[in-house]
A and B are shown apart, each in its own frame.
Chain A
Amino acid sequence: MQANGHEHVIEVTGLRRVYGDGFEAVRGIDFSVRQGEIFALLGTNGAGKTSTVELLEGLAAPAGGRVRVLGHDPYTERAAVRPRTGVMLQEGGFPSELTVAETARMWAGCVSGARPPREALALVGLEKKADVRVKQLSGGERRRLDLALALLGDPEVLFLDEPTTGLDAEGRRDTWELVSALRDRGTTVLLTTHYLEEAENLSDRLAILHEGRIAATGTPAEVTAAQPSRITFELPEGYFLGDLPPLDELGVCEHEVDGRLVRLRTRELQRAATRLLVWAETAGVELSGLDVRSASLEEAFLGIAREASATGEREYAA
């Protein structure tokens, strides 16, 4: 593989990670990231996001499968990869008694082609905090310091593990803008997040991780489109589910009843909604709490998690 042009900068095949206690955190995943692309690994806590990123960063050797970053194995060919990557870990990593400027200066001494530390701090708006000790920074400021140091060497590939956790709304937006600007200049970015909004707004492509496997992957629009839309309402007094038009005629693929609350899932939102409303009009009833929404990434995320664990249970039973 060549790392120039629009080839894959990150390639992952059959990747597995098993911890010392036998826990299999990553259970055979495949994906690739092209140059200049923002790729998001999305998942709940414990889905295997950090375990995966650490393998890409070369912090540990995989239990199985293969990782290539810029054409090299990041674990065994460390010297070839590290000068070209920037890493932001999920948390911490700086001596609490050093000041921001001292921390940046230390890192700059360890990064080939480092930009001046002040310039890196200015990128994330921390220049005024230069003389503050790391222990006195807020959680959000620490994330921004971490990002500044990941950017010191103007890396070709950037790994960001939950870059905006602990940031306020404004800080989060600023980080998104900064990361997008980097992508526009050709930087390849792999980030993890549990904020759906972040994955939706920022990433060109994403993969939803669930229990160490990729449950869905594609552009945010593709992943969303693969999911059904949702109609929710309360059944009027004296009516039962059977009083509705037959559900498959409505185009409903899945339904749930919770007391009087009905949840329908459909891939044909317009047809289902129209027929339901026509029925209500004809029957002269009011559908209170009516909520009609097309699939969002959040729906997709929850749906995939639900489906995946149901499949998992079936596998156990078999």
Chain B
Amino acid sequence: MSGTVTTPKGTRGTRTAATTPLGRMGALARAEVTLLGRSKGTLFAALFVPLVLPVSVRSAAGEMDLEEAGLTIGAVVLPAAIGFSLLFAVYSALVGVFVARREELVLKRLRTGELRDAEILAGSALPAAATGLVQSLLLAAGCVVLLDMAAPSAVHLAVLGLLVGLVMCTALAAVTASFTRTTESAQVTPMPLLLVSMLGSGMTVPLELFPDRLASFCELLPLTPVMTLVRGGFTGDLPAGEALGAAATAVAWTLLAVFAVQRWFRWEPRR
């Protein structure tokens, strides 16, 4: 250690300027990209699972009576693929990230600096959200090509669904992290939402094949409106009223999750 302070006050020639929210989040996100690259388990689950699961949905869909419900295989598999991406590459990956950073006191340390709370969460989430976005776009393109689908006829709905889905899954991950105590339990606590979404949000089985009453309940689950919007974007047969309802449900879940984060998010380990 030199023991002397070599830079006199005032020589700020080489110094950086005042930080901006985007600059701060960018610095944080860059570090998180490095960390994601070094976390082989997370990387595998995020990149590989959403590629494999749609294949099994594809083979299961082949045995369903889709025509009677007025569906095509592509209209089932493509939204499901995007759903898997949101659940594995974004939601459950981020539960692990938030818990690990909290337990290593990284979040507490970040809060002593200039970053605002929302910037800390958003900056940490950016790499996973970007992974989910790129993966979803690639999966969609793959489905269109491999399943002989037509180009999306209402792109705006699909884009809206995907973006709301990304924000919602990030916020829900922070909520889940709030009641996850250790990085080990972060492997388990995302399970309920994963299972409920895969079974009840029209990802593995279309809601059209459900009894009416169950289907209308399942429409209120967080990821159902995202699936509805994405599918509607590709088929183009989603009535405006239903699209609006789905968007409202998705936004409501997102706001609820953001509220829960503001209220209950834990920034440091329990004493």
Give B24's nearest chain A residue, CB to CB. Answer: A110
Task: Please tell me if the beta carbons of A83 and B114 are within 8 angstroms of each other in the complex.
Answer: yes
Task: Please tell me if the beta carbons of A113 and B3 are within 8 angstroms of each other in the complex.
Answer: no
Expressed in whole angstroms, the minimum distance between the Cβ of A49 and any Cβ of chain B is 15
Give the residues in chain B near A107, CB-CB below 8 Å: 27, 113
A-B pair count, CB < 8 Å, reads 136
User: Chain B interface mostly helix, strand, loop or mixed?
Assistant: loop
Check B159 for interface membership: any CB of A closer than 8 A: no
Give A146's nearest chain B residue, CB to CB. Answer: B109
Check B38 for interface membership: any CB of A closer than 8 A: yes
Expressed in whole angstroms, the minimum distance between the Cβ of A132 and any Cβ of chain B is 14
Contact of B15 among A58, A96, A114 (CB under 8 A): A114
Expressed in whole angstroms, the minimum distance between the Cβ of B121 and any Cβ of chain A is 14
**Binding stretch for chain B, among A32-40, A178-186, A225-233, A234-242:** A178-186
Give the residues in chain A near B110, CB-CB below 8 Å: 93, 110
Expressed in whole angstroms, the minimum distance between the Cβ of A129 and any Cβ of chain B is 12
Count of chain A residues with a beta carbon within 8 Å of a chain B beta carbon:
49
Task: Please tell me if the beta carbons of B271 and A113 are within 8 angstroms of each other in the complex.
Answer: no
Give B103's nearest chain A residue, CB to CB. Answer: A92
Interface residues of A (CB under 8 A from B): 19, 57-59, 78-79, 82-83, 85, 87, 89, 91-98, 102-103, 105-116, 119, 122-125, 144, 154, 171, 174-175, 177-178, 181-182, 185-186
List 23 interface pairs A-B (beta carbons < 8 Å), by A numbering: A59-B111, A79-B116, A87-B113, A93-B104, A93-B105, A93-B108, A95-B35, A95-B101, A96-B104, A106-B28, A106-B30, A109-B16, A109-B24, A109-B26, A111-B16, A112-B19, A113-B18, A119-B7, A122-B2, A125-B2, A178-B4, A178-B5, A181-B4
Given contacts A111-B114, A112-B18, A125-B2, 12 further A-B contacts (CB under 8 A): A79-B116, A82-B112, A91-B105, A92-B109, A94-B109, A98-B31, A108-B27, A109-B24, A113-B15, A116-B14, A174-B3, A177-B3
Interface residues of B (CB under 8 A from A): 1-9, 12, 14-19, 23-24, 26-28, 30-31, 34-35, 38-39, 100-101, 104-106, 108-116, 271
